[in-house]
Amino acid sequence: MKKSEIQIFLAHASEDKPAVLALYNRLKQAGYKPWLDKKDLIPGQIWRDEIPKAIKASQIFLACL
């Protein structure tokens, strides 16, 4: 599997958003496909529906503590 095919779901608390956003950018620059609500949710989408879909579509679930 290529890096660009590996989706990484970034789970985090709201107060950690700046650090997780930096991680998102580093993963993207490294060629991975990170998923972050702030970047990947489209306005109007219902986050309670979309987040479980994104988790299922991800190969990696990364809990950022």
Question: Token digits for 64?
Answer: 């950022």
Largest CA distance in the chain: 33
What global pTM score does this model have?
A: 0.92
Task: Please provide the size of the chain in residues.
Answer: 65
Position 49, amino acid: D
CA dist., res. 48 & res. 18, Å (int): 22
What's the topology of domain 3-63? Rossmann fold (3.40.50)
CA dist., res. 2 & res. 31, Å (int): 9
pLDDT in tens, 8-64: 999 999 999 999 999 999 999 999 999 999 999 999 999 999 999 999 999 999 999
User: Across-strand partners of 9?
Assistant: 35, 61
